[in-house]
Chains A and B, each alone.
Chain A
Amino acid sequence: MTTQTAPQREEHPRGAVAVEVTGATRVFQGSAGTVTALDGVDLTVGAGEFVSLIGPSGCGKSTLLRLIADLDRPSAGTIEVFGRTAEQARLAHDYGIAFQQAGLLPWRTVRANIELPLAMHGTGRAARRERADYLVELVGLAEFADHYPDQLSGGMQQRVAIARAVAEEPSLLLMDEPFGALDEMTRERLQGELVRICAETRAAVVFVTHSIPEAVFLSDRVVVMSARPGRIREVVDIDLTRAARSDEGLREDAAYFAAVTRVREALHHGSPAPAQGVELR
């Protein structure tokens, strides 16, 4: 069906809301009692929006991400991804995911690892190959396309994992500390690459991190969480344009530093000592 109305440039092809978390609570029953990992969390991530989750260790960041990915189920509350349940979204391959560890299959080459989600969803061989060629180029690993993961450094493996996560051009990317194990230089390079990839694929991103500068550099909004029970303490809007972000000069920009300070204050608000497990660099 075609309409005569003017095209809405702001409209995302998949609708306005990527993730809608309402009253999500997750209680773990352990032998040592119960742990409330998440308590009544509400969060909305717009299509194409980059949202970071930051907070002290154990505040439920990974738990929230796993709920969205339908790798875990909430004890209470609902999660919608592009207007469907999290399970439907998972089965419809609505998201790509990357963890702290690369998690590449050791018996597959770089190229075959990137092709994995495509192969699993029945993309033809030629189309797969073309996409993988493009992606190894994008993450700067063209010469290593036929290498195996054990022949790559940790940073290179992580880049493959990111290429794999975006292979299907998902409208939603879920990332749990994907740069956590990397050195600062590799990390900044990959951050730049991620911004570029997101700009190209217009994907919404939920990004878990421990690093305030990283959160600020990447995000449209930073969600600051507090632990025991896991709750959202504050949401900090970062008003830096995407264009500014792809510019390396941003890291020295005054607006950038102001945003870093705001997130830091939100994190420390109400806690006298610096929050544990958060890098304050």
Chain B
Amino acid sequence: MTRRLAGAALGLATLVLLAVVWELYKWLGPADGWSIGEARVLPRTSDLAMPHTWEILSRLADPLTAAPGAPSLARAVLAAGAFSFGIALLSWLLGVTVGILLALGMQRLRVVESAVLPLVILSQTIPLIALAPLVRGWGSRLYLGPVEWEPWMSVAVIASYLAFFPVAVGALRGLQSPDTIHVELMRSYGAGWWATLLRLRLPASVPHLLPALRLAAANAVVGTVVAEVATGIPGGLGRMILEFANFASSDPAKPWAPLLGAVLLGLVVAGLVALIGLPLSRFRRVEVSA
């Protein structure tokens, strides 16, 4: 418990440190940034390019627009974050399910492993940006009976496409991790594939699976936000980042707000995945040989 508290404190300290580095650079860095030829290597430090951290924070409390009755910026960001969170969670679940099913298939049959594993790895070389319009196009042409293909479903599919990969690879490694001695012990009990899976392979895969789930969560968040940007779907943080970029000169603190929202989203999702690990701690014990 104290270790978990220490971890949270460390995380908080890192955030503060980040803010300090930001302010230090803003204070000491060259106002016009630093360029090699045409390429700017270090950003400008003007109030337009890098507003003070406290300005970004205080902007959150102000209304979204000048229109009467507009909600505060923080509220709007939270609402967009909640929308993106829903999609990210769904795509995480989808990715984890697909990843684990693929891993099970690959563990069960060598043929499947040699056929599917290269495809799984190849799949990650296709850039997300290229994929987004394609999926959106396919989705709109899908006929699902009474259910209509909603644009957010495209986002979920694209994000889960990023999320399934670490799970497939991690789960496969985990399922294959038991030692020969344990596999033979199961055989000596006359255990079939299912019994061996439940008693041996799944528990043994936990240490490999947990980091994979965490990676998948990060991928789901990034995938969701990027896919929202790429497809331009309204409601989420991705679209908000696009829209608020226009205020860079008139309201320089505003474009940073959805980015903060994305960071918060990442933290929330990472925290949720960490919760999954809590009841599984005994499966992370390692064997010490006699």
Could you tell me which B residues sit within 8 Å of A by CB distance? 179, 181-182, 184-191, 195, 199-200, 203, 206, 282-283, 285-290
Contact call B290/A97, Cβ cutoff below 8 A: no
A113 → B minimal CB distance (Å) = 10
Bound state CA distance, A99 and B182, in angstroms?
10
Judged by DSSP, the binding face of A is: loop
Contact call A90/B190, Cβ cutoff below 8 A: yes
Bound state CA distance, A149 and B290, in angstroms?
10
Nearest chain B residue, comparing its CB with the CB of A95 = B188
Judged by DSSP, the binding face of B is: helix
Among A104-112, A198-206, A242-250, the stretch in contact with B: A104-112
Residue among A95, A107, A158 with the most chain B CB within 10 A? Answer: A107
A69 contacts across to B, CB distance below 8 A: 188
Contact call B288/A150, Cβ cutoff below 8 A: yes
B200 → A minimal CB distance (Å) = 7
Contact call B199/A155, Cβ cutoff below 8 A: no
Q: Which of B188, B189, B199, B287 contacts A149 (CB 8 A)?
A: B287
Binary CB contact string for chain A from 114 to 134 against chain B (1 if under 8 A, 0 otherwise): 001101110000000000000
Residues 81-107 (chain A) with a chain B CB within 8 angstroms: 90-93, 95, 97, 99, 101-107
Contact call B189/A106, Cβ cutoff below 8 A: no
- The verdict on A157 contacting chain B, using a C-beta distance below 8 Å, is yes
Q: Which of B186, B285, B288 contacts A107 (CB 8 A)?
A: B285
Knowing A155-B290, A158-B290, A181-B290 touch, does A106 contact B285 (C-beta < 8 A)? Answer: yes
Q: Which of B187, B189, B286, B288 contacts A117 (CB 8 A)?
A: B189
Nearest chain B residue, comparing its CB with the CB of A149 = B287
28 sample A-B contacts, Cβ–Cβ < 8 Å, listed by A number:
A90-B190, A92-B190, A97-B188, A101-B290, A102-B289, A103-B179, A104-B287, A105-B182, A105-B199, A106-B285, A106-B286, A106-B287, A107-B203, A107-B206, A107-B285, A116-B199, A117-B189, A119-B199, A120-B189, A120-B199, A121-B189, A149-B287, A149-B288, A150-B286, A150-B288, A157-B288, A158-B290, A182-B290
Nearest chain B residue, comparing its CB with the CB of A91 = B190
